[in-house]
Amino acid sequence: MNTRHRTSIDKAVVNVWQREVGQLSARNFKQRLAGSEDLVLRLEIYRKLEKHKGCVNTVSFNADGDILVSGSDDRRVILWNWETGKAQLSFHSGHNNNIFQAKIMPYTDDRTIVTCAADGQVRRSQILERGQVNTSLLGRHMGRAHKLAVEPGSPHIFYTCGEDGLVQHFDLRTDAATELFTCKPLDNRRSYMPAIHLNAIAIDPRNPNFFAVAGADECARLFDIRKYNWDGSSDVGQPTDFFCPPHLIDDAQVGITGLAFSEQSELLVSYNDEFIYLFTRDMGLGPNPIPSSPVSMGSDASETSGDHQCEKSPSTMDVDKRFGPQDYKGHMNRETVKGVNFFGPNCEYVVSGSDCGRIFIWKKKGGELIRVMEADKHVVNCIESHPHTTVLASSGIENDIKMWTPKANERAILPQKIEQKKPKARGWMYRLSSPQDLMMQLFSLQRQSESPDRTGENSSSGRDLLELILSFEPNNDDSSGDEGDAASLDDVFS
């Protein structure tokens, strides 16, 4: 028996003893048990949820955790009893292209669902009596709308972001969308891009006044909704803080695909062709980062972020000692717009999908990789954590959803050498929906090819350009996937 296994058993015995003698409440015992590494190492597929007829681009739990909602390229929304595997309700969302995000609004008796999609539309679905569903258009983006974020505990408020760079605020009591701002590039390095294509948005659960957005550049931006005057006289478009690893500042070839806030207000950021990073609140670059000059971590943030900076938990102190963000390595994030998430009752773990079809789980503290789970044959995009217990839901290019529970008899062993499977070419990370998108990305690659990349060598823009052209598919109602199939380039560049 190895030392880690023995330590895990010893802790479990102590927790049971403390519960029995009254030193540990049932609630705290349940939380410690749910965050146990032993349970994480026993995760395996509990069941597959199979009803969609296209890639499943979004999965999320309701507040109680007994219902899972999913959305797909088939433009349908399904509500599942995930424990039994039964679809309780399946309906057409009203979107005319792939659904990218679907969430149940809290405190609505699980009857109000908001969605956004590749058609740019933001819609509400209201479940009526006898399973009837009324869908309505709330707003739209010019281009695809990848993500939405629901204000914690609110049955009315949520935000959306899209590839047009626009961030919108929705209040279901008014059925109206408020256009907050359009996210602009930091400087003229991306002058060909009038707005930052946004892929991710997240709200701080400890202080919902703060939300972060990120997309096709190297910075995650933090905003304070209290700066916005609802009469339109003030612009909330100036971020309160920026977050970026020092070595990626001024890197025009990276982008951000996923964001998540922990219960301790830490910000998790997933980069394409790079790693995942965890930022504490004092690791910001300040409201006015200087391009081409790495700013010392936390130089201005404490003075500018107000009460967002004053709260500090013991867990954040552990990461602060590193004098930089904690990184998480091993997965592949190039082919699709992948999310990233925390796992465990106190966000003890970080989870992500990968181009190789696996799920990766790291310890949040220290970044140690502890699980690599075979999930899909292709790409895993979405990992959603159950709100109360050790359960995961995953989805990706395949048409099903996999539910993971700690039911394995034996603890999983991490492979000594993780060999990445090369994914089938499935097109550009941001699948192109119009000739204008194609021209913009071609221009972007041309600019990148004129400057050396991170290794000092010329970038492989020739391959990228050809891959981009081969992957181009006009956006239409018959679109079959968020990423689409593209001709393989292996023979061309062998």
Residue position matching structure tokens 């005057």: 229
- Of 1-15, 270-284, 472-486, least confident by mean pLDDT is 472-486
Residue 270 has pLDDT above 70, yes or no: yes
Residue 296 has pLDDT above 90, yes or no: no
Task: Please name the residues in contact with 129: beta carbons below 8 A apart, sequence gap of 6 or more.
Answer: none
Residue 422 has pLDDT above 60, yes or no: no
Bridge partners (DSSP) of residue 59 are 70
Residue 130 has pLDDT above 80, yes or no: yes
Give pLDDT, residue 493.
30
Please report the sign of the dihedral spanned by the C-alpha atoms of residue 320, residue 321, residue 322, residue 327: negative
Winning range, highest mean pLDDT, from 121-130, 175-184, 231-240, 412-421: 121-130
Bridge partners (DSSP) of residue 242 are 221
Residue 420 has pLDDT above 70, yes or no: no
* Strand order, beta sheet including 326-328: 256-261, 267-271, 276-279, 326-328
Q: How far is CA 259 from the centre of its chain?
A: 5
CATH of domain 44-406: 2.130.10.10
Q: What average pLDDT score do residues 254-268 get?
A: 96
Query: Phi, psi at residue 448, to the nearest 5°?
Result: -65, -35
Residue 44's identity, in one-letter code, is E
Task: Please name the residues in contact with 212: beta carbons below 8 A apart, sequence gap of 6 or more.
Answer: 200, 201, 202, 204, 220, 221, 222, 223, 243, 259, 261, 267
Bridge partners (DSSP) of residue 139 are 122
Give pLDDT, residue 229.
72
Condensed to tens digits (0 to 9), the pLDDT of residues 81-128 reads 999 999 999 999 999 999 999 999 999 999 999 999 999 999 999 999
Residue 304 has pLDDT above 50, yes or no: no
Cα distance between residue 378 and residue 358, in whole Å: 9
Q: Chain-wide mean pLDDT for the chain? A: 79
Residue position matching structure tokens 């996937």: 481
Residue 317 has pLDDT above 50, yes or no: no
Cα distance between residue 269 and residue 261, in whole Å: 9
Answer yes or no: are the C-beta atoms of 287 and 241 closer than 8 Å: yes
Give pLDDT, residue 192.
67
Give pLDDT, residue 421.
55
Cα distance between residue 460 and residue 492, in whole Å: 13
Give pLDDT, residue 34.
60
- Candidates 68, 172, 163; CA nearest to 114 is 172
Indicate the domain borders of the chain.
Answer: 1-34, 44-406, 427-494
Q: How confident is the model at residue 299 (pLDDT cuts 50, 70, 90)?
A: very low
Q: How confident is the model at residue 175 (pLDDT cuts 50, 70, 90)?
A: confident
Give pLDDT, residue 2.
52
Residue 427 has pLDDT above 80, yes or no: no
Q: What average pLDDT score do residues 135-154 get?
A: 95
Q: What average pLDDT score do residues 260-264 get?
A: 96
What number of other Cβ atoms are within 10 A of residue 374's Cβ?
12
Could you tell me what percent of the chain has a pLDDT over 90? 60
Cα distance between residue 265 and residue 260, in whole Å: 9
